[in-house]
Structures are given as structure tokens and as C-alpha cells.
Amino acid sequence: NAGVMQNPRHLVRRRGQEARLRCSPMKGHSHVYWYRQLPEEGLKFMVYLQKENIIDESGMPKERFSAEFPKEGPSILRIQQVVRGDSAAYFCASSEGPGQTYGYTFGSGTRLTVV
Amino acid sequence: KNQVEQSPQSLIILEGKNCTLQCNYTVSPFSNLRWYKQDTGRGPVSLTIMTFSENTKSNGRYTATLDADTKQSSLHITASQLSDSASYICVVSVYGGSQGNLIFGKGTKLSVKP
């Protein structure tokens, strides 16, 4: 069981480019959550997805950010036209059922640097 | 506003010593409280989870306490080891809230020195 796999581990993008972050949940987990961590800050919830559905996106910025979790393949967090303020660590977590009941397993994160 | 405050922000102790980390929260209504360990460059790993009715829970050398009346929790680490050096994060869930909407503290950065 490889755990929650995130790639890439590090991503460098120039301002205005697109960033795609991938998350493969643990085997058997169909619930995926994305969090952002700014330097010296706590993790902040972004979006909660189940297969093919967005359950809660209340933490997602209204523009430039989108997330999907297709029937096949990993969950993708997409950031269009990146700006310096998007530089952060992005963590994905997965759970077997609703996380508050089943608990969360986190990946190692993707560190995005916008130059 | 739902918030989780942790103290101290950072802590340095000698190997073999004990330490206690604090967490105060204003999350309401309360569902449960988790302590996570986050090594540098890694994702958080769960240590304990406590519900409203639980006062103490242990996981090896880690013991968490919860006082739901004062909305305080602590994480006590016994006989510290070099591998305990990490950030320890207190996370509180809102009852009835979104399944993904956890409230994270900023963490306490613990350094264990030989």
C-alpha cells in the first residue's frame, strides 16, 4: 500500500503559467481533500471531492483554481495563470469514507514555487 | 470565528526529557480533536483523535488530554527522542460541518537536541 501519492514533489512555474498538481489516493479511498499551507501558517482547506463529484469547494479561490477527481485516474488541482502568492505547499488527503469518521491520510505534498 | 491556537510556537528540549504542547480552540460546535506530527517536507501523520467524551488518549510515548469545558488540549511527549523533532499540529473538526473542513493550528515546532 503506497499511501497517498502526490506528484510532482516540487514544481516551479513562471507567473502566468498553469500548474497541475496530482494526487492518487490510497487504494480503496474514494474521498479526496486538498489543503494549502503557506509558510509559517496552518493548513487551510480548499476542496473536498468524491469520485466525479465536488462535495465542498468553499475553500477554493473563486478564480484560477479548479479541482477534479475523475472516475479513472488521480485527482487534479489546477491553478491557471499562477501568481507569486500561489507559492505554497499543497497537500492532498484521502479517506475511505467521510473523513471525520474514518480519518485522513495525507500525502507528502507538492511544493509550488512561482518565479 | 473558529480558531485553533497552539503554544509554544517553537520548543527546544534535550533528548530524554519530557515536554507538553498546548492547544486552545474556539471551534463550535465541537466534533473531535486530532493531533498530527508533521516531519519537515512531509505530510501530517495522525497521532491521536479525541471526541467530546474522552479526556485522555495515549499512543506510545504520546499522551493527549482534552478538556471540552475549557476548550483546551495538550500533547505530552515522554522520554523524547531525536526523531520526535517535527511540527505538532492540533486539528479540530466542526460538528455537522463539511467533512473536509478541519480547522488547523499553526503547529508547535519541536527540536530535540542530543
Distance CA B30, CA B73 (A): 13
* Conformational region of residue A71, where left means phi above 0, alpha means psi within -120 to 50, and beta covers everything else: alpha
A40 Cβ under 8 Å from any chain B Cβ: yes
Chain B interface, best mutation among A104, A108, A111, A113, by max B CB count within 10 A: A104
Of the candidates B43, B99, B104, the beta carbon closest to that of A100 is on B99
Check residues A41 and A85 and name the one with the higher pLDDT: A85
B41 and A4 within 8 Å at the Cβ level: the answer is no
Say yes or no to pLDDT of A2 above 80. Answer: no
Residue B95: pLDDT over 80 = no
Where does the pLDDT of residue B98 fall: very low under 50, low under 70, confident under 90, or very high at 90 and above?
A: low
Q: What distance, in Å, lies between the first and last C-alpha atoms of chain A?
A: 36
Residues A11-31: tens digit of each pLDDT? 999 999 999 999 999 998 999
Per the model's pLDDT, the better-predicted residue between B96 and B1 turns out to be B1
What length does chain A have? 115
Closest CB from A31, A42, A58 relative to B107: A42
Residue B28 β-bridge partners: none
Mean pLDDT (whole number) for A35-64 = 91
Cα separation, A109 vs A33, in Å, equals 12
pLDDT of A96: 86
- At B63-75, the pLDDT tens digits run 999 999 999 999 9
Interface check for B46 against chain A (CB to CB < 8 A): the answer is yes
Q: Does residue B101 carry a pLDDT above 80?
A: no
Whether the per-residue pLDDT at A1 is higher than 60: the answer is no
The answer to whether B44 and B15 are in contact (CB under 8 A) is no
